[in-house]
Amino acid sequence: MGEIEGVPMLQDICKEWDAIHSFQARDGDIVVASYPKSGTTWMQEIMDLILQDGDTEKSLRAPCFVKVPFLEMAKTLFYSALEFANTMPPPRLLKIHLPVHLVPPSFWEKNTKIVYVARNPKDCMVSYYYFHKMDQTMPDPGPWEHFFGLFLSGKVSWGSWFDHVIGWWKAKDRHQILYIFYEDMIEDPQREIRKVMTFLEKNLPDEVLQKIVQRTSFKSMKKNPMVNFTVLPTSVFDQTVSSFMRKGQVSDWKNHFLVSQNILFDEEYKKRMACSGLRFRMDL
């Protein structure tokens, strides 16, 4: 890994940073932003379906990483998001995991609409741990207790979870940002999808909304090859190690955190989140 302005980032991203940072937003672009493993793919599919007026056939037109280019993956062996993005007709739906201070400035200049998805850090950490194990382009996470320390100290790709969620939370009052919580989506997907629809100024009938809820349920997405990443070879995502659509639950962290780790985590959480005005639900 390398670093960009003190934020740990994969070497492939560091190498292409100038091209990524100078990416030119266009009128009508829409962005989904998140810290990794927060439900980004879920939100991408929801937003794509909303933009396609709930047309499920159209939503199957290409894998999610083609429909919604992941900008930081500017140039990798198998994929160039910047190239995809530059050939897309409007409205372009784009994905980023960048902390708010590293967002390409042209998004702010164009007043781009951004949906930010945030997930409680304990589940995020567990999901990220399994993701490091299966994504062959990520560094080896080592044993769980080692990864726990890395995550807590922000020494993982895209940096500190705390800085990320707080940075975006503060930015939402200055820009067109809709801040959505993964736990709220699990609790009441219909309510949260309606918020996204309103934000995107789409007024779809209730039966279409229902269809989007069903189509983006964990069960449905897990068996959809266009979103479950099974189209990627095992040399990229080795899903024999762990599925991309792994559990899709709130509070799986309870199956992984030792009591001592939980105490340590809660202390750090309290310190870091105290003045943020931001609260996460660790279970429902």
Interacting residues toward ligand A3P by CB under 6 A:
34, 36-42, 123, 127, 130, 216-218, 221, 245-248, 252
Q: What residue ranges in the chain does DSSP mark as E strands?
A: 2-4, 7-9, 30-34, 93-96, 113-118, 177-181
Closer by beta carbon to ligand A3P, 217 or else 235: 217
182, two tokens: 């993964």
Nearest to 66 by CA among 46, 99, 44: 44
Closer by beta carbon to ligand A3P, 162 or else 253: 253
Closer by beta carbon to ligand A3P, 97 or else 272: 97
Which amino acid is located at 173 in the chain?
A: D
CA 130 vs CA 241, 262, 267: distances in Å: 8, 19, 24
SS3 119: coil
Compute the least distance from the CB of residue 228 to ligand A3P, in Å: 9
Closer by beta carbon to ligand A3P, 106 or else 251: 251
Under 8 Å between Cβ of 171 and 177: yes
Under 8 Å between Cβ of 83 and 108: no
Compute the least distance from the CB of residue 35 to ligand A3P, in Å: 8
- Active-site residue, from 21, 97, 146, 175: 97
97 is catalytic: yes
Compute the least distance from the CB of residue 126 to ligand A3P, in Å: 6
Q: How many CA atoms, within 13 angstroms, populate the side-chain half-sphere of residue 29?
A: 26
Annotated catalytic residues are 97
